[in-house]
Each structure stands twice: as structure tokens, then as C-alpha cells.
Structure 1
Amino acid sequence: MKAVLTAAGMLAAMPAGHAQEPVDVVLVLAADVSRSMSPGELAIQRDGYAAALNHPDVLRAIGQGAYGRIAVTMFEWAGNSAIRPVFDWTLVETAADADKLSAAVQSSGPIGQRRTSISGAIRHALTLIDDAPFDGFRKVIDISGDGPNNQGQPVVEARELALARRIVINGLPLMTGDGFDGGFNIPDLDAYYGNCVIGGPGSFLVPVTSWDQFPEAIRRKLILEIGGLPPMEPTVVPAQARPAQGLRTSPGSYDCLIGEKIWEQRQWMFQDP
């Protein structure tokens, strides 16, 4: 049985000049823990990821790849200064490998943090991919979040950094919430993700409109990311499939700075009297 290999262990074991180990997919999971999510929602998100990572359908998708293995890392994010690793780069090839990842997620204790920097999450994910001891046939950043970018670099600029390196960004917009900072969210978050966040060949998003959808949504999303999608244009894969063009507007017509503008209007809520 192959042991789970973290980035530190792989790097220590590799002699100088050793080639990176090939895998079907190098996948970064970036989970939103901003304060617009309630403690109950954070728990549902944690449990959903834990259940998906070792689900038989996900393992079957891994086994059907050319190499039959993927590399995964996961972190939680909110504002630029609120990034916390959940688990390091790990090779997943067997059920035992996946079980260890699931246990790592289940034992994590996400805590809501202030602000929402999708651009910061993308940039952190790019750094992780740079440092990965694996060579993925495909490189994917998977971002879940319940609000627009309101801190740091504009999200479109961060997205372009990823696309220039042929790294795909997929999205899981969480379109429900009762957290403390819910006033900074927007009703058309799926359109925001479609126009401003996701990108790259075969990219897609899976909107979640109620939390009971989350476990199935993240499981389906992982299966699609591991197996790859045939379309070359961004695709929307909600509970009931609908065309991506239903969310996309003409280039430049969607305001991808909407989150920053809402923050400018409402930041007084967090200022001392």
C-alpha cells in the first residue's frame, strides 16, 4: 500500500535534479472561511469536503486517469492575511490515501475571518503549484466562496496570472449565507464567478443555492476536475445544467470590482465610533 506523501517528504526523498513525479492532476482546493459564513455553514463545508475526498466515485475517477493518481493540497482563506493550510501536497492513489485526507479535513477547525480576497487565494494557490513536487498533466485551482473579492489585487488580474500559465480556475459559488458579514455579498454571485473568477480550458462553476446541495456539489466538482471536461469554453454545472452563456455578459460589461465598491460604501460598519 502506497503511503501518503507530503511535499516535505517528497522533497527530502528526491535527489538533486530528480524529475517531479507525474500525476494526472495537480489540484489546489481553496475553501472560503470569511465571516460571511456562519459556524454552521463552515461545518457543513468541512464535512462536505471530507466526505467527497474519499467517496468511491471520486476514487473511481482517480483510477481512470492515465497515471491513476493525483496530487492535492488544501487551504482555507479569507482576507490577504488569513490563509491557513489544511493539508500539504499529498499523492492520492489508493483508498487509504484518500481516507487520510478526509480525516485531515474532518479534524480541522475552521474559524471565520474578516474580508474576502479571492485574488489573494489565487496568488497563494499559484505559489503552492510552483512548489509542488509533482508534475500534473493538468493544473487546477478550485475556489469555493460566498462573496466577491473586496481586498487585495483585483480578481481579474490574479486570474490572468493563472491563465497565462495554463492553469485552470474552477468555482463553487456559495449563494446562501447568514454569517456576520453577509451584507457584503451579492445576489448574482454565480454571474460574478462566471465573468470574473473562473477561466481556462474546460473551466466550470457549480453554484450552491442551499447548503443541503453542498456535499453532492463538491463531490461532482471533484469528479469533473479529476476526469477533465471536453468543452473548451467555461461550463456551468449546477444541480440542473444550464448554458454558461446565461451567466456571462459581453466582455467588460460585468463590474468585476463590485466587491471592492461595496466595501468602500459599507466599511464604516467596522470603524470605531
Structure 2
Amino acid sequence: MSGSVDSAEYRLQMDGLAQALLDPVVSRAILAPGAAPIALHIFEWSGPQFQNTLVDWTLVTDAPTLNAIAGTLRGTGRSPSPPSTALGTAIAVAATALKNGPACWKGTIDVSGDGKSNTGPRPQDLGDLAQLEGVTVNALVINTIDSMGAGPGDEDLMSYFENLVIRGPGAFVEPAEGFEDYTRAMTRKLLREIDALAVGGLAPDQVPDKG
């Protein structure tokens, strides 16, 4: 998240992610018997030199682990950060974390933001980054207009993320209509990703017919 995010908006994001992880439908899907195991690595970011790990790689195997992750997020205060948005750098750092993390059959990078990258490498210029091979990058876009009516329009920002940021198999953008809508949007986004894991882990003859 960029340094332009104020303290209230920061809190809505941290608490929103925690609440989404603990949503009964989400937590049941994560912890369901036989479900694909999920490991989480969570960091905040802003400028090219600012990435702060909040939760290091953690395999989510039970409710206490999920509760602990949510508790960490809720207890995290905002760190001083540069007033810039290095989205490309954040994706590259996440890709390196995936490469150095636990072995997995599917890697997904989740980014959320309310604006476009304005420093560092552009997201669309990361195509040759080896660590991104086979990785899906999804995004949660927070559509906001400030009190002066400034800021990218909803359609413009969605188009930016759809065309220049997300990538990989099944990549998608989930919109949030303002920071107050963050919890709902994150809950929906997590459920879509968990559902994709469940279907992706099936043999072709086991995939349900949705037609």
C-alpha cells in the first residue's frame, strides 16, 4: 500500500484481511478435510525500498494458526513509509518470497491497491522475471475518489490492473467500492482463489461440469 493511504484506511485494510480470513465460509474452506494445504506470507509495501513482512511463511493447518495470523494483522500498527507506490517492485519481492518459500504446486501473489504504480519497475515490464513463471498474480482494486473529486475513475483503475498488473493462469481483479468495502471484497476474493485451488487440484475427469 502506498504512503498516501491514511491511518484509518490502513486500519480498514489490516482488519479487513483479518476478518476475511476468519469469515466462517473462508475458514471452513481453508481447513476442510482433504483441501489443498495453504501457506501464507504477508507483507506491506510502498516505495521500492520499503517492504515489511507481517507474517512469514506459515502453513495454515488449524483454527489456532488462522486465529494467530488474524491477531497479528489486527495488532499491526502502521510503519513510516515513503509516499510512493512501487507496485512492480512489490510483485517482484513477492515472487522471490514464493521461490524461497515452502514447495507448492501453485503459487499465487495477491496485491491490493487504490492507485497505479508511480516508481520502480512497471508491473507490465516483469514478463522476463523467472520467479513469475507459472505464478498467478491477482489484485484487489480499491476504487476511491477523494474529497476534491480527484483520483482515477473506477473503470480506468480496473482497466489498468486487468491489462497491466494481473497475470498467470486464472488471474482476476476483485473490486472494492472504497476502503469500507474492503472486507467484503477480500472475502469474495479469497473464496474465488480457494475454489480455484480445489478445482485445479482435481484430475480432468473430476472437475465438475458447470455447463
TM-score, normalised relative to structure 1: 0.66
Gaps of 5+ in 2: 201-211
> What's the Cα RMSD here?
2.3
**Aligned with 1:166: secondary structure?**
coil
Candidates 137, 140, 144, aligned match of 2:108: 140
Counterpart AA for 1:199: R
Alpha-carbon offset, residue 163 of structure 1: 8.2
**Aligned with 1:88: secondary structure?**
strand
2:200 paired with 1:225 = no
2:116 paired with 1:116 = no
Alpha-carbon offset, residue 73 of structure 1: 0.6
**Aligned with 2:117: secondary structure?**
coil
Candidates 20, 40, 59, aligned match of 2:8: 40
2:96 paired with 1:130 = no
Aligned to 1:211: 179
2:117 paired with 1:149 = yes
Change (3 A) 1:164 1:116: closer
Alignment check: 8 A CA contact 1:163 1:199 kept: no
Gaps of 5+ in 1: 1-31, 232-273
Alignment of 1:228-267 (within 5 A): 228=196
Alpha-carbon offset, residue 68 of structure 1: 4.4
Counterpart AA for 2:167: G
**Aligned with 2:70: secondary structure?**
helix
CA distance in 1, matches of 2:27, 2:59: 13
Alpha-carbon offset, residue 67 of structure 1: 4.7
2:194 paired with 1:194 = no
Aligned to 1:88: 56
Candidates 30, 44, 51, aligned match of 1:76: 44
Alpha-carbon offset, residue 93 of structure 1: 1.5
Change (3 A) 1:197 1:39: same
CA distance in 2, matches of 1:162, 1:207: 29
2:24 paired with 1:56 = yes
Alignment check: 8 A CA contact 1:75 1:83 kept: yes
TM-score, normalised relative to structure 2: 0.84
Alignment check: 8 A CA contact 2:31 2:63 kept: no
**Aligned with 2:106: secondary structure?**
strand
Residues 54-110 of structure 1: CA deviation (Å, up to 9, x unaligned): 222112222347554210010001110111111100010211110000001011112
Alpha-carbon offset, residue 44 of structure 1: 0.6
Alignment check: 8 A CA contact 1:159 1:197 kept: no
Larger radius of gyration: 1
CA distance in 1, matches of 2:113, 2:33: 28
Counterpart AA for 1:203: A
Alignment check: 8 A CA contact 1:144 1:172 kept: yes
CA distance in 2, matches of 1:140, 1:69: 13
Change (3 A) 1:79 1:164: closer
Give me the identity figure in percent.
33
Alpha-carbon offset, residue 209 of structure 1: 1.9
Change (3 A) 1:73 1:163: closer
Change (3 A) 1:159 1:109: farther
